[in-house]
Amino acid sequence: MLSALEILKKYWGYDAFRLAQIPIIESVTSGQDTLGLLTTGGGKSICFQVPAMMSEGTCIVISPLIALMKDQVNQLNRRKIPAAAYYSAQSKESQTKILDYLLEGKLKFLYISPERLNTKDFQTRLRQIKVNLIVIDEAHCISQWGYDFRPTYLRIPNVYEIFPNIPKLALTATAAPRVIVDIQEKLEMKDPKVFVSSYFKSNLSYQIKSSERKVEDLVSWINRLSGSGLVYVNRRNAAEELAKQLATQFNIQAEYYHAGLSAEVRNEKQEKWLNNPLSVMITTNAFGMGIDNPHVNYVIHYHFPASLEAYFQECGRAGRTGQKSYAIALVSDADKIEKDEIIRDYPSIQEVQNLALLLFNHFDIPYETGLGRRFDWIVEDFNTQYKLNYWHTAKCLQILVDNELIFIQDAFYKPDEIQLLADERTISDLAEQFPEYGQLLTHLIRAYEGLHFKKRVNLYKLAKTYHYNLTELKISLQKLAQKGIINYEPSTNKPTIEFLTNKTAANDVPIDQTQYRVRKQILLDQTKACLDFIKNTKECRSRQLLNYLGESHSEKCGICDVCLVEKNSITKEDYLKIRDVILANLEPNIYTAIDKLIKLLKNYPELAIRKVLDRLLELNQVEKGVGEVFRKLK
């Protein structure tokens, strides 16, 4: 077998490993259970991909995100390394094909969701193959104290009995100290070696900015900062609406991205963003995992995340090549109030039980039934219909998921699927009566062999090839389905909800009270930590984050908003001088760009000038226009 360095160079083209990768790879290749914490962009995948290539057998990679699995598989396949992803959203045909390849020894890497890992069918197949390494990616998901707890992760150790001597590698980018301990315990790791790289990012300027006019302030930052940027929002409709607003009102061509887009559209948007060094992506947290873009110069949080771990991880997608970069969070008074409300208004067990009953009723499920039933479902529409608070509902749903009463599949794109039900005689009779349907069926059969089995079809391609109007094509397929000629399942990009229990009276919905109390305390701790971070304008932002993550770091970053205020603080005399110059050079009816004011006041730090402008805005002595322009008020 080739050495680790030879494999790295042959398949990845690198001449050396990063320093943080070396001890993890050495531990894995020695057969030791290992926990590795490498910050975003630290090259976690290399830590298991290279060792797996050094020995016979298949590497099983457990991952919670379909998009991340697909990205990793595509990257491996481009390097001529056989890999596949196995998850519930695939067709039976695709899953069977992947399992056949696995049994035939044709896959070096199999990426799998924790839900599929724990099925009896898969574990039966698993006993028939040679596995060289078990990797648990995003390992923080196994900890209730982590920021993205997934109950299905707790069942991962069930497969250990199949491979009692196979080493395990757990990887994550961000974990607080108690989460690190919890990962080792919950994954039942044997005397693991733990490697934690420093979280300190000397080139990243964390800045919390008060903003009551978020869109205008976002535009201002985008215009000021160079390079590619990521703008994080908390809901997919917010991503679409904000991208549209930037384009129509401010002529900023921003892409939007969320998990509900088709695979083709997601890939197209990713490639467009990756290949344009000045592009802006408005996105939910579905974007960024496993995607390495060296051009990202800024990350802007339009909505602040639910935890500091998530905030730190998303910010870390900027400045990967060491260039100075920015992590800007726009925080309004309403945002702070909302987080305060989360602390005060955590749902009671009775409210959770009532929501469970409402879900059953919403889908017209009778009592003592519902187990295994699955529906397309959008939580925003559900909230609107019943006039529910979004965040209150989100917490109730999380408690139901934690108790394994429901399973919510995040939005993924399910393509159109068609199965031919009629025999040749029936099709022939239909074609005589309705020639247009006969022609459509002929085109379908010609384009997709074996249509008597359910097939995924690309209607866009079919319409283009045979010159159909796409809308009319879909209507024709629906009519064929009504006649019983085909089974047609239209494409959807909606999330799904699956019931894991039968409907009962609200009071009989089983909620683990101990787990409920723990999860409540975790959410309160995370929310309070976010609020403390936002409000603390006395301590270096970087030091605040590092302390939260358990790393003692006495050095100030020198480039966050707190450090810059300290560094650029001005005396009352300087304030008055800057104020007088600003007011003398602003006209009541003409907007003046801030760049002109900065040049006029070149002997003073830019931050000091901005502080004076902010104060003049508060006193209603000046007015800010769209972008970085100001005028004097009469």
Question: Quick one: three-class SS letters along 114-182?
Answer: HHHHCCHHHHHHHCCCCEEEEEECCHHHHCCCCCCCCHHHHHHHHHHHHCCCCCEEEEECCCCHHHHHH
Closest CA to 171 of 254, 47, 73, 294: 47
Instruction: Tell me how crowded residue 487 is: count the other CB atoms within 10 A of its CB.
Output: 13
Distances (CA, A) of 278 to 84, 255, 412, 443: 33, 12, 28, 43
Q: Mean per-residue pLDDT for 255-264?
A: 78
Each residue of 183-242: pLDDT tens digit? 999 999 989 999 998 888 899 999 999 999 999 999 999 998 888 899 999 888 899 999
- Distance in angstroms (rounded) separating the CA atoms of residues 587 and 119: 71
Mode of pairing for the β-strands spanning 34-37 and 254-257: unpaired
Per-residue model confidence (pLDDT) at position 16: 94
Tell how strand 58-62 and strand 131-136 pair up.
Answer: parallel
When the pLDDT of each residue in the chain is averaged and rounded to a whole number, the result is 89
User: Is pLDDT of 45 > 70?
Assistant: yes
Give dist(CA 197, CA 18) in Å, integer: 11
Query: What pTM was computed for the model?
Result: 0.72
User: What is the structure's pLDDT at 90?
Assistant: 74
Q: How far is Cα 326 from Cα 315, in angstroms, rounded to an integer?
A: 8
Of 56-70, 211-225, 404-418, 520-534, give the lowest mean pLDDT range: 404-418
pLDDT at residue 89, rounded to an integer:
66
For the cut 70, the answer to whether the pLDDT of residue 413 exceeds it is no
Residue 567: per-residue pLDDT: 77
Q: Residue 316: how many CA atoms within 13 Å on its side-chain side?
A: 23
Instruction: Say if residue 116 is exposed, middle or buried (CB neighbours under 10 Å; 0-12, 13-18, 19+).
Output: middle
pLDDT surpasses 70 at 488: yes
Whether residue 287 is predicted with pLDDT greater than 80 in this model: the reply is no
**Bigger pLDDT: 366 vs 226:** 366
Residue 184 CA to residue 145 CA, distance in Å, equals 13
**How are the residues of the chain apportioned to helix, strand and coil, as percentages rounded to the nearest 5?**
45, 15, 35
Query: What is the pLDDT, as a whole number, of residue 30?
Result: 94
Give the Å distances, CA to CA, from 233 to 240, 242, 253, 313, 343: 10, 9, 17, 15, 21
Question: What whole-number distance in Å separates Cα of residue 474 and Cα of residue 308?
Answer: 45
Work out whether the CA dihedral 345, 400, 238, 297 comes out positive or negative. Answer: positive
319/328 Cα distance (integer angstroms)? 13
Classified as helix, coil or strand, 67 is helix
Is a pLDDT exceeding 70 seen at residue 17?
yes
pLDDT(412) > 60: no
φ/ψ (deg, to 5) at 385 = -60, -40
